[in-house]
Structure 1
Amino acid sequence: MKFKQVTLDNGLEVIAEVNANAFSQSLGYFVKTGSRDETMEIAGVSHFLEHMVFKGTPRRTSVDVNRELDDLGSQSNAYTSEEQTVYYMSVLPDNQHPALDLLTDMMRPSLRDEDFQTEKQVILEEIAMYDDQPPYGAMERAMEEFFGEHPLATRVLGTKDSVSALSAESMRQYHSERYAPNNLCLVAAGAVDFDALVSEVDKRTKHWTPSRVERTLHKPLTEQKQIQMIHPPATQQYTLEFSPGPGTMDPDRYVSRVLATILGDDSGSRLFWELVDKGLADAAVCYTYEFQDCGVFGLYLAGDPEQQQDNWELIQSIVSQSDSHPITERELELAQNKIAAGILLSAERPSNRLFSVGGAWVSRHRYETAAEVSEHYRSVSLEEVQKAFEGLKSRTAVRVSVGPDTAL
């Protein structure tokens, strides 16, 4: 296993975790742009643009793109988040050359007016569909209330109004600025011919022009809030709580995830045994979100609306028991084993390493092996987890609940 990195003259970074023993390879362009880089006027443009990338290029129609993806036998897709847009595919090593040619060409889409108008309707339907399925927009509302004026409050899908008002020219301008080579990272994992990869991408992108790309990083100002949303057709009540947590640059993120696993993993945790296993709730979990400048420690509860108030009070009691029920050595060991197993088992697939290696590189410009990442969690001490547990008692939280009831 070897890590290799090159920065081309135009600023495009090429990195790879080369595993000569792998049977496949995964390639992906990580674009350092997402909903946090949008203004409210163009909210949703990153996700909309992700769709448009598959609609063809000056060299290929949309049919050509999809046919070639099939011809390669690839497993391919894309996603947009608050901080990244990623286009990726997994192929056999013999197909590295055509896969790279296709993926690189897709980074310069045609963005035709007729495709733009057609896809706009698809996006609007996606927004409507998302708002009409559990938890019925509660996650987006929680993000907005928690982050306030911070850029991370911007919805990844955008809103009906922002997407409806978006013009093709605005998207072209956004693409020109944010898809510049110095804002891209080509990531590869598995059985990769790195020298050939660098040579080919350099040849295909020499004419790409860098741009001035900026991202504002600062912590949000969080206020205690409780928001109730009513959705009469819902058969369950859903409650989310966000409080401040460590970001991707903060070493405390390892402690936070271990604590979340002990308290609220979806199996074998304190919340699981007290609420889910006993049939009191369908779901009761803790989780963490990490961004470049901040993070979230979250709680989630789903269940019978008539029991929601009692269940939420039980959750609050459990996460406030740092004095009466401190974390035990056994709980710490179980959580560390679970996290380590997840990291190391997933690392056997190049596609999983693509996301781990690429995500770490574009967010904090650092490479670590799966074993090194696992060791960070193994190194978390009982004292560190207990201290984080005690900190939950004084957290400033935003709570959003949605359902047929006004239970919370």
Structure 2
Amino acid sequence: MVRKKVLDNGLTIVAERIPFVRSITMGIWIGNGSRYETKELNGISHFIEHMMFKGTLKRTSKDIAEQMDRVGGQINAFTAKEYTCYYTRTLDTHFDLALDVLTDMFFHSTFAEEEIIKERSVILEEINMYEDAPEEQVHDLLQSTIWDDSLGYPILGTEETLETFRQKTLKEYMSQRYQPTNTVIAVVGYFEYEELYEKLEKAFGHWKSLATPIIQSFKTQYTPGIIKKEKDIEQVHICLGFPGPPIGSKKVYPLSILNTILGGSMSSRLFQKIREEHGLAYSVYSYPSNYQQAGLFTIYAGMNPVQTSRVLELIVEELTLLKKEFITQQEIDQTKEQLKSNYMMGLESTSGRMNSIGRSQLLLNHIQTPNEIIKKIDQVTKEDIEYLIQEIFDFTQMSVSVVGKVKNLKEIPSI
């Protein structure tokens, strides 16, 4: 059972005790990511995440790594468009060390100028590495094309913005965006609730909020578009995008079923048609992206340039067929069981559960129990999915991004 506690400073704690494990996973979830940045500060959220590991007043970056390695623990972080998470996973006997290291990083990182210079080079290499991964780059190109605001910004930032970051810039931004009212601490594993609350109160209770709370709303609009990036590589990588429902929408559950049937698994229609039947692509899949007040449904394929036109034809044919003949009840029932199994098995680790409750509390201000989620999957009807198919797969709203040898691709605008 997940318990929730809000400290006097507005910090939210969500915790779930699992008596049959001996590990504890803890995550600090901040309501800040690239979507909250200005164009001039694009990439600063990810840069701050990196700098948290570069040393504190009493620990060097090596100390942080060695102290966690010494007890067989894990410590890491990630930045997304709408949040940043710092997390640890240790045995329950080493939780105090993990809490001390994580809070030391969180409150006492020095952001030394010499470390900023080094980390800037590291992130520039990360961006360069990304340039060498067209199968990933094509997804970001799609996002940058369709969104009319910061939702389309790259999480890593750009070479130009990274060059402007200094200690003062990072600390000022962090003081504005890192607030207890904007933060959720999620803990899952073997612990006693009251003892945990006492430790977290001691570690975070002193943290003060800004006098004026952070309120930021978005008016993100989806605008269909086509973008091509010429690259001398062996394959062409393509994404087709359609507007989708936002996070928290009732349509998320029927969309999960639709996605699994269309391109979310090896037995999906797109995988079977394009890879197994025709052998035209090694990788083809679909996935939904749900954000606050916005959403996207993406289909990806990577193929030999000479196969591009045929692959696009097959994708459009499959979508057209889907709109005309819909999905059978048998497909829906089988997919429901698949989704429920995947979801429940994903919760068997403390890390999986921590991610689930932390993200839900931060973005939705609510945590659904596994039974509630299973019930919502079961309640999806054939009519729900049929309505969603017609709503999402409007070809006048389709967007396309392409990376590869695209100079001679004339088929894309005519779809």
Equivalent pair of 1:33/1:83 in contact (CA under 8 Å): yes
Shift of 1:193: 2.4
* CA displacement 1:81-100 (0-9 Å, x = unmatched): 00111011111111222211
* CA displacement 1:121-166 (0-9 Å, x = unmatched): 1111111111122226322221111112x22111100011111122
Shift of 1:378: 2.1
- For 1:136 and 1:284, the matched residues in 2 are separated by 13
Alignment partner of 1:287: what SS?
A: strand
- For 2:341 and 2:136, the matched residues in 1 are separated by 33
- For 2:129 and 2:21, the matched residues in 1 are separated by 39
Equivalent pair of 1:256/1:388 in contact (CA under 8 Å): yes
Q: Does 1:313 align with 2:302?
A: no
Structure 1 equivalent of residue 274 of structure 2: 275
Structure 2 equivalent of residue 65 of structure 1: 64
Alignment partner of 1:277: what SS?
A: helix
Alignment partner of 2:298: what SS?
A: strand
Alignment partner of 2:325: what SS?
A: coil
Shift of 1:213: 4.8
Q: Does 1:373 align with 2:373?
A: yes
Shift of 1:391: 2.3
Alignment partner of 1:321: what SS?
A: helix
Q: Does 1:405 align with 2:409?
A: no
Root mean square deviation of aligned Cα: 1.6
Structure 1 equivalent of residue 348 of structure 2: 348
Shift of 1:181: 2.0
Alignment partner of 2:326: what SS?
A: coil
Shift of 1:335: 1.6
Alignment partner of 1:333: what SS?
A: helix
- For 2:8 and 2:213, the matched residues in 1 are separated by 16
Shift of 1:323: 4.7
* CA displacement 1:55-100 (0-9 Å, x = unmatched): 1112322122111111231122210000111011111111222211
- For 1:343 and 1:258, the matched residues in 2 are separated by 13
Structure 1 equivalent of residue 208 of structure 2: 209
Alignment of 1:244-283 (within 5 A): 244-278=243-277, 279-283=279-283
**AA aligned opposite 2:402:** S
Shift of 1:225: 1.6
Q: Residues 254 and 403 from structure 1, CA distance in 2 versus in 1: closer, same or farther, beyond 3 angstroms? A: same
Alignment partner of 1:322: what SS?
A: helix
Alignment partner of 1:266: what SS?
A: coil
Q: Residues 323 and 87 from structure 1, CA distance in 2 versus in 1: closer, same or farther, beyond 3 angstroms? A: closer
Equivalent pair of 2:242/2:393 in contact (CA under 8 Å): no
Equivalent pair of 1:320/1:392 in contact (CA under 8 Å): no
Alignment partner of 2:134: what SS?
A: coil
Identity %: 29
Equivalent pair of 2:145/2:226 in contact (CA under 8 Å): no
- For 1:259 and 1:214, the matched residues in 2 are separated by 36
- For 2:213 and 2:86, the matched residues in 1 are separated by 20
Shift of 1:267: 0.7
- For 2:133 and 2:403, the matched residues in 1 are separated by 11
Equivalent pair of 2:244/2:392 in contact (CA under 8 Å): no
Structure 1 equivalent of residue 322 of structure 2: 322
Equivalent pair of 2:12/2:183 in contact (CA under 8 Å): yes
Equivalent pair of 1:104/1:201 in contact (CA under 8 Å): no
Structure 1 equivalent of residue 168 of structure 2: 169
Mind listing any 5+ residue stretches in structure 2 that lack a counterpart? none
**AA aligned opposite 1:402:** V
**AA aligned opposite 2:176:** E
Q: Residues 286 and 258 from structure 1, CA distance in 2 versus in 1: closer, same or farther, beyond 3 angstroms? A: same
- For 1:325 and 1:282, the matched residues in 2 are separated by 27
Alignment partner of 1:116: what SS?
A: helix
Alignment partner of 1:6: what SS?
A: strand
Q: Does 1:18 align with 2:33?
A: no
**AA aligned opposite 2:251:** D
* CA displacement 1:380-407 (0-9 Å, x = unmatched): 1111111111224425122111112333
- For 1:167 and 1:203, the matched residues in 2 are separated by 31
Tell me the number of residue pairs that the alignment of Structure 1 and Structure 2 aligns.
405
* CA displacement 1:182-213 (0-9 Å, x = unmatched): 22211101212222222122222333221245
Structure 1 equivalent of residue 139 of structure 2: 139
Q: Residues 136 and 378 from structure 1, CA distance in 2 versus in 1: closer, same or farther, beyond 3 angstroms? A: closer
Alignment of 1:226-241 (within 5 A): 226-232=226-232, 234-241=233-240
Equivalent pair of 1:136/1:231 in contact (CA under 8 Å): no
Structure 2 equivalent of residue 5 of structure 1: 4
**AA aligned opposite 1:283:** S
Bigger drift between 274-283 and 199-208 goes to 199-208
Alignment partner of 1:56: what SS?
A: coil
Equivalent pair of 1:217/1:292 in contact (CA under 8 Å): no
**AA aligned opposite 1:216:** Q
Equivalent pair of 2:39/2:150 in contact (CA under 8 Å): no
Q: Residues 398 and 331 from structure 1, CA distance in 2 versus in 1: closer, same or farther, beyond 3 angstroms? A: same
- For 1:136 and 1:102, the matched residues in 2 are separated by 33
Report the TM-score when normalising by structure 2.
Answer: 0.94
Shift of 1:304: 1.1
Equivalent pair of 1:344/1:371 in contact (CA under 8 Å): no
Alignment partner of 1:101: what SS?
A: helix
**AA aligned opposite 1:386:** E
- For 1:254 and 1:335, the matched residues in 2 are separated by 12
Q: Does 1:75 align with 2:74?
A: yes
Q: Residues 229 and 215 from structure 1, CA distance in 2 versus in 1: closer, same or farther, beyond 3 angstroms? A: farther
Bigger drift between 92-101 and 218-227 goes to 218-227
Shift of 1:219: 4.7
Equivalent pair of 1:262/1:270 in contact (CA under 8 Å): yes
Alignment partner of 1:187: what SS?
A: strand
Q: Does 1:40 align with 2:39?
A: yes
**AA aligned opposite 2:398:** A
